[in-house]
Chain A
Amino acid sequence: MRGGANGARIALTPQKNWAANNPKELAKVLKTLTKVQKKFNKSLSNGKKVSLADVIVLGGIAAVEKAAKKAGHDVAIPFAPGRTDATQKQTDVKSFARLMPKADAFRNYYSDNSYGSPTAMMVEKAALLTLTVPEMTVLVGGMRALDANVGQSKHGVLTNKPGTLNNDFFVNLLDMSTKWSKSSKFPGVYEGLDRVTGKLKWTATPVDLIFGSSSELRAVAEVYASNDGKEKFVNDFVIAWAKVMNLDRFDLK
């Protein structure tokens, strides 16, 4: 039972250098967030302080709330401060290196070092995060809507409004006007063409298309793609998001 947001070890070796963490972008973001944190801490009184780990989590919360608002939903994601920042000295680099993600379907990331297929590794990761089938489904759909892929890839970002927390991923995945086929150029990538014009609309990977092909996952995707599923999608995503952010907070339990 390791890993998690507490400790802000994403700012330390080895995590800051992992390919799945977009090292270049990450360095910039952390610099900005640290600046905000320092300035904010100066403005606080009564011995109050906020850690970088809390700022990172709060930044995610602020972004998701804003993305939900853009979709017309006001949501408030619960936030529990109290994370602290570990030092490099407190970090067993060799042992942490073994945790390097080989695949992360939530961010549409897959490497050949994985021991199973992309979809099997998605289920494995979800199981390690103690997610249910609906939680895994809504998180993948939401993360695609939020345009949160590793390396800013557009695979599975089945929306014209990336960065808006809406159910477009499910609506467009189940849309019969799209015909999917294997890309002839890129192995492991699929192309979604307009069934009539043949125009390329989307690209996706197996961990996107599985929500249309697996009968059980399709059943859940239908729930979120339905007209009455828009609000449910946002609410369920927010609950699952908060669950993942607090998975390592044994101090709260």
Chain B
Amino acid sequence: MLKKPMSLFTALAVIMTALASASSLAADTMAKSNQFWWPEKLNLEPLRAHDARSNPYGESFNYAEAFNSVDINALKKDIEKTLKTSQDWWPADWGHYGGLMIRTAWHSAGTYRAADGRGGADGGQQRFEPLNSWPDNASLDKARRLLWPVKQQYGRNVSWGDLMILAGNVSLESMGFQTFGFAGGRTDDWEPDLVYWGPETVMLANDKRYSKEGKLKNPLAAVQMGLIYVNPEGPNGNHDPLSAAADMRESFGRMAMNDEEIVALVAGGHTLGKAHGAVKGECVGAEPAAAGIEEQGFGWKNKCGSGKGADAMTSGLEGAWSSTPTAWSMLYLDNLMRFEWTKTKSPAGATQWIPTDEAAAQLVPDAHIKGKRNAPIMFTTDMALKKDPGFRKITERFLKNPQQFDLAFAKAWFKLTHRDLGPRARYVGSEIPAEELIWQDAVPAVDHKLIDTKDAEALKTKILKSGLSIPTLVRTA
């Protein structure tokens, strides 16, 4: 009985040794692309990306039809149940995954930039490198795994792109917020998008994306490699709310968001959930793309304490903004304007802000430890909403007019999560808002009969006789 497992173990060890030496050789024995030898040569790979043969559902699969067959109310109920069922392997803050899912949806859509339309939630690109391993997307690997049972249940009828955004909407609704609506229709990709995210070759670097005059180069929108928007601690961690405001304007602006939308999104997003920085950065291991095969797609393994829940580490900032982080409220805006704030350090060592008023230190219930209470926090980018005169005007107006704040956040959230989907003709499902919005680049509906082939032929002759040359007509078309 003893001998058999022994020999099996020996055999395995032999295989493992062979594998180990093979993997160290891998870099040398791998076929090298021509781009490796001649990096300046024109690379045509972008034109061969997203080959239909990579799509396991085949070319004839019509996702819009598939999504239309889904009972969206049942789907939303399944999502909400997931949100409220805490898993031991990644316990939910206050027993509700809403905050995490709002961030998932936001970061899925937030990569969009207006200049070339790259990025965005369509395609479900957050599943793939580099986005799945961007420092700004830490712990979202857990969010997608929490959603997996829902994805598994609905299969091809609900894409990851749609599921991540819808989970954000359901989170908001589950915590008492009335959303503006939801449109499905995001068709999943099966390979990473090849996108120019900036000239730097190191994550979080930003030494090459600014001109000498300090202008962010086109078509980029984020201020550092691997971030969705800006550094929450201010430009290069300078902790200055005013220069953080300038960065926010530039970054959000390049995603077609104006001041009112910026304030609404930041305030609305931070009304719910918390930030995670309970332990030092050294506790955290490699991102998913660099993690061991046994991690099965997870990254950022945290070896300190329980490594999760009360010891979770994501951005390095720690705490909640509101004292009711799982219920929609005015408390973010109220706290921001009510208290004077002073700089402090999170357990991870990041600079954040807490009220100077010591009575506030007991305002927020801890997300995991019963009976423990904490002070509310603000990021330097939150302080920007108070310190920047332009932002402050809007912040004060929102605080006085909760309905205006609600509507502004609802609309800005809908824009954030839907603008990369394109024209309304691509929207699918039963929760599409009727109101037409200017950023949808709407065209009027056809309110007349269309010309037929004979008419078109006659019109062609007339155009050609109008004196316009072939090159002119071609150029205009």
Contacts and interface: CB of A to CB of B under 8 A. Distances in A.
Do A and B belong to a common assembly? yes
Interface of A: 1-2, 5-7, 9-10, 22, 25-26, 29-30, 32-33, 35-36, 39-40, 44, 46-50, 53-67, 79, 81-87, 90-92, 94-96, 98-99, 102, 107, 113, 115-116, 119-120, 123-124, 126-128, 131-133, 136, 143, 146-148, 150, 152, 162-163, 210, 214, 216-217, 245, 248, 250-251
Which 6 A-B residue pairings sit nearest by Cβ, starting from the closest?
A60-B477, A1-B422, A250-B425, A63-B473, A62-B460, A127-B46
Given A82-B450, A92-B439, A250-B422, A32 B468 contact: yes
Interface string B155-196: 000000000000000000000000000000000000000101
A155 B26 CA distance: 47
Contact of B115 (A5, A55, A98): A98
Nearest to A64: B474
Contacts of A127: 46-47, 49, 194
A116 B194 CA distance: 14
B426 A146 contact: no
Which of B41, B455, B462, B466 counts the most chain A CB atoms within 10 A?
Answer: B462
A107 B41 CA distance: 22
Given A1-B422, A6-B443, A44-B455, A67 B470 contact: yes
Nearest to A40: B459
B46 A63 contact: no
Given A90-B443, A126-B47, A148-B475, A66 B470 contact: yes
B471 A162 contact: yes
11 contacts: A40-B462, A49-B450, A63-B468, A86-B442, A87-B444, A92-B256, A98-B115, A115-B219, A133-B47, A133-B48, A251-B425
Contacts of A92: 256, 438-439, 441
Given A48-B451, A92-B441, A98-B254, A146 B421 contact: no
A48 B464 contact: no
Nearest to B198: A115
Interface of B: 41-44, 46-49, 114-117, 122, 194, 196, 217-219, 254, 256, 420-423, 425-426, 438-439, 441-446, 448-452, 455-456, 458-464, 466-477
Contacts of B42: 119-120, 123, 210, 214, 217
Nearest to A115: B218
Nearest to B196: A115
Given A60-B473, A91-B441, A250-B422, 4 more contacts: A82-B446, A86-B442, A127-B46, A150-B475
A87 to B, nearest CB: 8
A115 B444 CA distance: 35
A7 B441 contact: yes
Contact of B463 (A5, A55, A216): A55
A54 B446 CA distance: 12
Given A44-B455, A133-B44, A49 B469 contact: no
A216 B114 CA distance: 32
Given A60-B474, A136-B47, A147-B471, A2 B441 contact: yes
A40 B463 CA distance: 10
Contacts of A53: 443
Contacts of A32: 466-468
Contact of A44 (B426, B441, B451): B451
Contact of B456 (A36, A79, A96, A162): A79
A222 to B, nearest CB: 16
Contacts of A9: 441
A148 B443 contact: no
Given A62-B473, A148-B475, A49 B449 contact: yes
A60 B448 CA distance: 23
A16 to B, nearest CB: 11
Contacts of A251: 425
Nearest to A9: B441
B443 A85 contact: yes
Contacts of A58: 456, 459-460, 463
Contact of B476 (A56, A102, A124, A147): A56
A239 to B, nearest CB: 16
Given A7-B443, A62-B460, A163 B469 contact: yes
Contacts of A133: 44, 47-48
Contacts of A216: 44
A107 B477 CA distance: 12
Which of B49, B194, B459 counts the most chain A CB atoms within 10 A?
Answer: B459
Contact of A59 (B46, B423, B468): B468
Given A59-B468, A123-B42, A123-B44, A95 B256 contact: yes
Contact of A102 (B114, B218, B455, B466): B218
Which of B48, B122, B450, B471 counts the most chain A CB atoms within 10 A?
Answer: B471
A116 B421 CA distance: 26
Nearest to A252: B425
A33 B466 contact: yes
Nearest to A136: B47
B477 A248 contact: no
Given A1-B423, A2-B441, A99-B115, A115 B217 contact: yes
A126 B422 CA distance: 18
A30 B94 CA distance: 61
Given A132-B47, A245-B477, A81 B466 contact: no
B451 A81 contact: yes
A124 B45 CA distance: 10
Contacts of B44: 123, 133, 214, 216-217
B296 to A, nearest CB: 32
A61 B463 CA distance: 10
A80 to B, nearest CB: 9
A59 B477 contact: yes
Contact of B471 (A35, A39, A44, A146): A146
A86 B423 CA distance: 13
B440 to A, nearest CB: 9
Contacts of B46: 123-124, 126-127
Contact of B446 (A61, A64, A84, A87): A84
Nearest to B114: A98
